[in-house]
Every structure is written in C-alpha cells, then in structure tokens.
Amino acid sequence: MQLGDILESVSLDVATSSIEITNVEIDSRLCVPGSLFFALAGGHTSGNRFVDDAADHGALAAVSSERVVASIPVVIVPESQLRAMLAHASSAIVGHPEFQASLVGVTGTNGKTSVTTLVSALARALGWNGASIGTLTNERTTPASPELFRTLSALVTGFEPERVSSVVALEVSSHALDQRRVEGLRFTVAVFTNLSHDHLDYHRTMDEYFEAKARLFNPEHAKRAVIWCDDSYGARLADMATLPVTRVHRSDASDVTESLQGTIFFWRGHLVNTPLVGDYNVDNALMAMEILLSLGAGEAEIATAMADVASVPGRFEVVNTDGIIVIVDYAHTPEGLRRLLEDVRRLVGTGRIITVFGCGGDRDRAKRPEMGEVASRNSQITIVTSDNPRSESPDAIIDSIIEGTVAGATVLRSRDRRSAIQEALRLAEPGDVVVLAGKGHETTQVVGDQVLEFDDRIIARELLK
C-alpha cells in the first residue's frame, strides 16, 4: 500500500507518497523491509532517537511530531494528531478490520478478562462468530495500535462468513485510554465493570483513574453503554454518560444457588444454569448477558446458551476437590482478593482458608499493605510470597505486604512461590481450602530479567501427587 494512501490527510511529495508500505510499527526493533515507523514520545525517551535504527531494520519512512535528520523520509505531523494517525495507518494497512465485526470494549478494575471472555464464548454458543482480545491473548491488556489491528484482522479473517453476527470483545485498560491506544475504534457497546484501588502509581488518584476510564463512554468511542451500577463509580458514570445506558445490578439475578460445580439463577424470568463458580462470576455473567442482549440476541436464547459457556482460565478455577480444595484465581487487587475470599468462605463452609499470594514488582506499591490486610483478615493462614517481582527485591515486596496484615493473624513468608504452595498444601487438612491468588492463568514468572516457566495450576497438581 502506498504511503500517500495510508497518510491520505497529509500532503506529500510524489516520491514519498509512492513508497510501498507493508506494515506499521512503533518499536524500531520490530521493523522489517517495508515498514512505516511511528516515532512516539515514551515515558522515558523519544521515538525520534530510534528512527535510524528503524531504517537499519528495513523501515522505508517514519512519522514524527518533530524534525529528525535521518536516512529515510520523515513525515512531520502535529503531536495532537500523531496517535490518531497511527491508529488509522495501523488499520488501513490490514484492511480496516474494525468494520467487519461488532466491537465490545470492556473497562474497569476487576472483571475485564472474565467479561470479554464470556461475551465471546456466549456469542459462539449462540451460533455467532465470537473472539476476544486482552490479557489471555496478548502481552498487554490492550495492545498498541499496530498489534491491536493486526490481531483484530487475524480474528475477523478467521470468522465464518455464513454466521449471522460477529463480535469481538476487547479489554480496554486505563493506560490504553490515557495513551489513546484505542484511537480509531468505535465500539458498538462500551462496558464498565467496577473501579477500586489499582494503578495509582500511574494515575496518582482514584479520580484521575476514574476519569481515564470514563473517556470510553462518549459518542466518539461508543454507540451505547452497559454499566455495573452496584459500584459507586459505575452509578456515577451511568449518570454522567451521554450514551444510551443499560444499568446492571446484582438484583437482576434472583434465586441464586451456588456450588463448586456451578451456579443456577433466574434472569429476566429465564433459568440460567452455568458452570461458572463464585459470586463475582454471577456479576460477570449478568454483564455478558446484557451485552449480548444489547447486540440483538434474545433473552431466552441467551439464558439457554449460558450452559455452554465454560469457566474462564485462572478465574476461580477449581484445581482439586479431593480432600483438600485448591482454587487458583487472578485476584491481584484488594477488592478482587476480598471478593474471592468471601466467595470461598461461603462456598466451602467451615474448612480453613490458606491463602498464598504476592504482589507484582514495579507496580502500584500503595496497594500492597491493603492486600496483606485483606488476606490475613479473611484467611486462617496467609503465606506471603512472590508474584512477578520483576526488578524489585522479593523480600522488600513481602515486607510491604506484611506491614498491613492484621495483628495476631497467622502469617508466614516464603519468597519462593513453589515452596510457598508446597507449604500451604502441607499445612492443609481434609476440608481446608488452599487459595493461590494473583497469577491465575499466567504460565510464567518474571524475576529480575528472567522469564521463568511457572503455572500455579500445574505446580499445585504436581505437588498434590
């Protein structure tokens, strides 16, 4: 595709306009012959420093908001237009896949992965094309524009054309909204799950965090909204949104019966029998069902199809029920961990809860003592260990968590996560529940500059043998 067709709003000379572009990149190391490199400003450095490196990797042209002396043509555009142009270019080079499916954008602190996964699975259970983009499919919750549009293109290309509808559900993080990674997308439905303490190392205050999320809920980004209104921030958002809003409440589910095998409840007068486990998964199911309803599916068929929707990997995943119950969950915020442990207590009765968890390094440090307080208050034994310590000292992270634990609670520490899981299983007796929180579906652990194979579910099964 010629550069002039990609950057159609920019006036280019004939030679530059006729350059044949094959892909778009923002990382100079990923450039190949035929690439168009966008030199974005980063948190610590400017992309302008890497224009020559992009050229060395094969880039034929670059786009920047500043003049750069380079061996390839550099198109200068205003900084305010740079990310919108990146999105347009990323979309154009792969054939504008955003127009080939209904897009659902899901934002919130907890539940994004569950809701997006449930939406895509429920769509497939209804006989539609369905897919999701987010934590389970990409390295970033919301990929940068080049990766996002490539992923979207690959998904819609794989859809079966004879299906009546096509849906792609996308996790939209607050970072992505602040950094305008979803520029160029218009969602059929924008979705809000909840808001609680997380990412305050980036947003600084809860109000700033909320304002970042709220950007999704305007006509520029979406046609309508589905909002969880039992959350105070959700209720606030529903009141201020300029879109048509469907308000969702827990009271929308009645006669709820829960077990470790699944959940039964009534929704809009229809029986829903789902393998999803946990109180918060009832919330997620309600959101997913309302989203499909807003996309045109019928109430009765949605309720019936929920029986065919499997549990989300690493979300209240029951690994073992023989004597000692083992549950793996991604809960990595104070509110997420609280709801998880309250669900566990209600579902398993009188057995002891032994919780193993840690906090990620190079991330929001303020939540660490809060996590310690929640875990120790809701568990009979808490073992604080490593999550993904990254560049931080594992012991320093553990110290910060333990500072918040409840006085008199039984709290142990083990910087090695495998050893911590082994100790939890050793201490557990029949009827007890071991909760492995924080990593969920993840299959690696980041320690320093090493990425190690590590899956809580596999480790637990190995040790149980």
The answer on 397 and 327 residing in a single domain is yes
Residues found in the chain = 465
Q: What is the CATH number of the domain that holds 77?
A: 3.40.1390.10
Count of alpha carbons within 13 Å of 433, Cβ hemisphere only? 26
Annotate 225-255 with DSSP letters as a single string: EEEE-SSHHHHHHHHH-SS-EEEE-GGGEEE
Q: Strand pairing partners for 354?
A: 381, 434
* Four-residue CA torsion sign, 178, 181, 183, 188: negative
The answer on 39 and 81 residing in a single domain is yes
Cα separation, 49 vs 362, whole angstroms: 25
| Residue-level pLDDT at 203 | 65
- Helix (H/G/I), strand (E/B), else coil: 92: helix
Q: What is the CATH number of the domain that holds 225?
A: 3.40.1190.10
End-to-end CA distance of the chain: 57
The answer on 276 and 391 residing in a single domain is no
Angle at 60 between CA 57 and CA 64, to 5 degrees: 100
The answer on 269 and 245 residing in a single domain is yes
- Helix (H/G/I), strand (E/B), else coil: 326: strand
Sheet holding 61-64, edge to edge: 23-25, 35-38, 61-64, 74-76
Cα separation, 313 vs 440, whole angstroms: 7
**Single-letter amino acid, residue 187:** F
The answer on 122 and 75 residing in a single domain is no
The answer on 128 and 38 residing in a single domain is no
Cα separation, 210 vs 178, whole angstroms: 11
Cβ(112)–Cβ(135) below 8 Å? yes
- Helix (H/G/I), strand (E/B), else coil: 364: coil
Q: What is the CATH number of the domain that holds 344?
A: 3.90.190.20
* Mean pLDDT of each 10-residue bin along the chain, 465 residues long: 95 96 97 97 85 98 95 95 93 96 95 96 98 90 93 97 96 88 92 86 83 92 97 96 96 96 97 94 97 98 97 93 94 94 93 97 94 98 97 97 98 98 97 97 95 97 94
Q: What is the pLDDT of residues 35-49, one digit of tens each?
A: 999 999 876 788 999
CA–CA distances in Å: residue 286 to residues 130, 193, 433: 18, 11, 27
The answer on 389 and 282 residing in a single domain is no
Q: What is the pLDDT of residues 233-253, one digit of tens each?
A: 999 999 999 999 999 999 999
Looking at 308, 329, 350, which one is the last position of a domain?
308
The answer on 363 and 278 residing in a single domain is no
The answer on 253 and 161 residing in a single domain is yes
| Residue-level pLDDT at 318 | 94
Looking at 255, 274, 308, which one is the last position of a domain?
308
The answer on 412 and 331 residing in a single domain is yes
133 membership: H or E segment, kind and range: strand 129-133
Q: Which domain holds residue 411?
A: 317-464
The closest alpha carbon to 280, from 304, 316, 326, belongs to 316
Indicate the Cα dihedral angle 413, 414, 420, 423, nearest 10°: -70
The answer on 86 and 104 residing in a single domain is no
Cβ(317)–Cβ(440) below 8 Å? yes
| Residue-level pLDDT at 291 | 98
The answer on 103 and 200 residing in a single domain is yes
Looking at 93, 122, 154, which one is the last position of a domain?
93
Query: What is the count of structural domains for the chain?
Result: 3
The closest alpha carbon to 291, from 215, 222, 195, belongs to 222
